[in-house]
Structure 1
Amino acid sequence: MTASHIRIDDLARPRLSPLLEEMIASAVPPERLTAQAVLDAASAATGLTDFGDREFVARLDLWCTSVDADTGLNQWGRASLFNDFIRLAINRLKVEDMIRRHPEILDIEIERPIIIAGLPRSGTTHLVNILSADPRLNSMPLWESMQPVPEGTPPADRSQDPRFLQTRQFWGAFEEALPHMRAMHEMAPDHTHEEIELQKIDFASYELEWLSRPHAWREYYLTHDQTPHYAYGKKVLQLLTWLRGPRRWVLKSPQHMEQLGPLKAVFPDATLVITHRDPLAVIQSAVTMIAYGDRLRRRDTDPPATARYWIDRIETLLRRCVRDRALWPADRSLDVYFDRYMADQDATLDRIAALAGLERTPEARAAIDAYVASHPRAMHGKVVYDLAGDFDVDIAALRERFAFYFDAFPVAEEKL
């Protein structure tokens, strides 16, 4: 195994660094998470009290009770989620305040966005960042997704924005504590991030599942129409467009694969790109990343239980994608297969540009080429996975379980 290959051999019995031990020991979560405590903290931090339509409070309460019910979380896991809920409530206060003072924001059109859906770990992040290099398209970097509304007038140099600096500090500390995370999913502050961060301001989305085992929330999310929460996210996009153009966005989230109906209802003129990859390769990458992060947020890691949860979750996502794929017509949507994309990236970009009616100008090509050259694959090392050995998964049985997806799409099987 070369020096660039990373084998994480302590997923079941993590060897905690002194930094990790200190982070966990110093975290002080509330004894019980409550929606009111979150709202009170957000109002105290901002001096604002108007959260807009308060129907979201019931969902926030369910988030809190779901996290409380997850007794496997340690004090860092609970404290980090509580603090994140406060951040989202602060963002909501600022969004509602900005729109109340500038109602013209809601008149802005989000014009023909290019939206990427696709399995987690299927190249969606790489693809959205490549497309984001085109200066004609608007995209949302991680730091802006974390705090979409600035305090006062933001500096012309975006790298000096306090929000950028705070995000770099936070995620820098996180990646210092979990150094292999960058090899799986780097959280660079200037990289394009998922817009479901904006839906979270309405206290919706599946992202809570990546950080805990919120069974009650999962049941609610999967049985309730997500269209209103996609609409709230679009409202925040209108605000960001008002703050800075251009008006045509490139967006992405794996969640969209199971929400193709709400996505189309809210963005009816969008160009949809769906990336596909062998779900077994996706699962082994995703559960390894989650299990590695669990050493920071959970009392005990349980890789086989993590695999069972996410095998079931990915199956649900893919079954809904198969069910609803026909909602998007061929002249507005495109299926991109991971193996073909990796073999000929430029051809994939040509197909997306043609479908979106976006000329691949010399300037756009140069910007994309510069991004690709500065972000080679595996630049932080390549993780070596072992789905059977680390997670006690029967590979043959798992392939059979996902036969329905291979029957629906010509996805290439990958050697695990």
Structure 2
Amino acid sequence: MRLDHEELIDEARRRTSLSDLGDADSLTGLQVLVRSAEEVRPTFASRVSVRQLAMSILVNRLALVDAQRTSPDVFRGPLVPPLIVTGLPRTGTTFLHRILAADPAHYALPLWEAMRPIPAADRKDRRRLRVGLGLAVRKLMIRGLDRIHPISVDAPEEDLFTLGGTFQSWLFWQALPMYGYVDWYLRQDRAAKYQNYRAWLHVLQAAHPGRRLVLKAPEHIGGITELLHAVPEARLVQVHRDPVTAFASFISLISHTQGKVIGGTDTSRRDRTTLQLLAGEMERNLDARERLPDAIVDVYYDELVADPIAVARRIYHEHDVQQSDAAQAAIERFVRANPQGKHGVHRYGASDLAVGADEVSSRFAAYSQRFGFAGPRDTDQPQRPRAT
């Protein structure tokens, strides 16, 4: 079974009985994705994994274009300003996202809805069941995943599938080491990607009226300018951590997510390509932040670990968001119920990298200088955040 982009499109159309995929130019990424996947000679399991991801994106895209045609009023007007968390992977973004999601006035997508935001119109809604079954299979393939990234069908999850509508997403790199895809991705303009993202936010806002969407994705770091242009209502939060520590943790994660579905991995090439991706995205982030100095609330990993309730309170204050007594109580309950290490200890270190810590530090030198990591690197133990 070889991957073929035309066959994937035909199958998605057959499954949904829909045909319009919108702007054909934004499907170029699907062709790059398929070509890059085949270049690494994937196993059968790898092809199945990539095929399922691509099919999910295509099915969702068909549903979105259909909704834009049949329900145009949904996509007009402003959004309740969403809270959007970003930062390098493995910086505490998931923990912070779930803290903010605890507020009953907020809504964060559970995994099943993140993967299938629009139910099929002509059949019983089985989204939760199907996503749950897929997750169970994934956890059998990737033992110990919850120690690194706790995931369940009903827990708040990243908005990777809504970000992937133009086939510009880190989602695919985390699934398979597609080197050509990363080279292509880093050269792309993100305007269409974030116009598509805004359309999804309208769909989700309509499904949960009156509640503030709370969203999270590390890959927003490279699209801050385009995100704020497409979604000027957005309230952004960026989490910071020593980049060597964050990078080592992310490599540990993708060694699990990639390593269980391919026959073998060139770890040196994988680590260097991951460094190319993250450092390239951070360069875009730093450039955007020079032009948008007051648009983002900055949070440090160590202060988040030390006092997450105070961090949440500061985010509400700096973004002028009302924090009710019910929100405060819900956040406190969540923090008490989710201490660090609840799902087991994630062990990793810079010594495990196929690239040296000095090389990682060099690629993130400007980021470290800007956010105060130019001195001794942090550990998992809390420390005082440095002034920016």
Return the TM-score normalized by structure 1: 0.85
Q: Aligned residues: percent identity?
A: 27
Whether 1:103 aligns to 2:72 is yes
Q: Where do residues 266-305 of structure 1 align in structure 2 (5 Å cutoff)? A: 266-305=230-269
Return the TM-score normalized by structure 2: 0.91
Per-residue Cα deviation, 1:192-246 (whole angstroms, up to 9, x for no partner): 2222321212222232121223333223322221011111011011112222223
- 1, 25, 30: which one pairs with 1:55? 25
Contact 2:88 2:240 in 1 (8 A): yes
Match of 2:303 in 1: 340
The alignment partner of 2:239 has SS state of strand
* CA–CA separation in structure 2 for the residues paired with 1:40 and 1:168: 26
- 63, 80, 85: which one pairs with 2:54? 85
The alignment partner of 2:212 has SS state of coil
Comparing 58-67 with 301-310, greater Cα deviation is found at: 301-310
* Pair 154,111 (structure 1): closer, same or farther in 2 beyond 3 Å: farther
Match of 1:16 in 2: none
Match of 1:329 in 2: 293
Whether 1:144 aligns to 2:106 is no
Contact 1:271 1:355 in 2 (8 A): no
Specify the code of the residue in structure 1 equivalent to 2:85: I
| Number of residue equivalences | 378
Comparing 119-128 with 88-97, greater Cα deviation is found at: 88-97
Q: Where do residues 102-181 of structure 1 align in structure 2 (5 Å cutoff)? A: 102-152=71-121, 162-181=126-145
Residue 367 of structure 1 and its aligned partner are, at CA, apart by 1.6
Contact 2:112 2:127 in 1 (8 A): yes
Q: Where do residues 183-332 of structure 1 align in structure 2 (5 Å cutoff)? A: 183-330=147-294, 332=295
* CA–CA separation in structure 1 for the residues paired with 2:370 and 2:114: 34
Per-residue Cα deviation, 1:142-185 (whole angstroms, up to 9, x for no partner): 11111111134999xxxxx6212222221122112322111001
- 47, 66, 70: which one pairs with 2:40? 70
* CA–CA separation in structure 2 for the residues paired with 1:210 and 1:315: 16
Q: Which runs of 5 or more structure 2 residues have no equivalent in the other structure?
A: 381-388
Specify the code of the residue in structure 1 equivalent to 2:356: D
Match of 1:383 in 2: 346
* CA–CA separation in structure 2 for the residues paired with 1:37 and 1:205: 21
Match of 1:399 in 2: 361
What RMSD over aligned residues (CA atoms) do the two structures have, in Å?
Answer: 2.1
Contact 2:79 2:233 in 1 (8 A): no
- 34, 42, 66: which one pairs with 2:12? 42
Comparing 260-269 with 116-125, greater Cα deviation is found at: 260-269
The alignment partner of 1:366 has SS state of helix
Contact 1:273 1:333 in 2 (8 A): yes
Residue 385 of structure 1 and its aligned partner are, at CA, apart by 1.2
Residue 117 of structure 1 and its aligned partner are, at CA, apart by 1.5
Per-residue Cα deviation, 1:319-371 (whole angstroms, up to 9, x for no partner): 222222123232x3211111122112122111100122122211011222222
Q: Which runs of 5 or more structure 1 residues have no equivalent in the other structure?
A: 1-29, 156-160
* CA–CA separation in structure 2 for the residues paired with 1:323 and 1:97: 36
Residue 409 of structure 1 and its aligned partner are, at CA, apart by 0.9
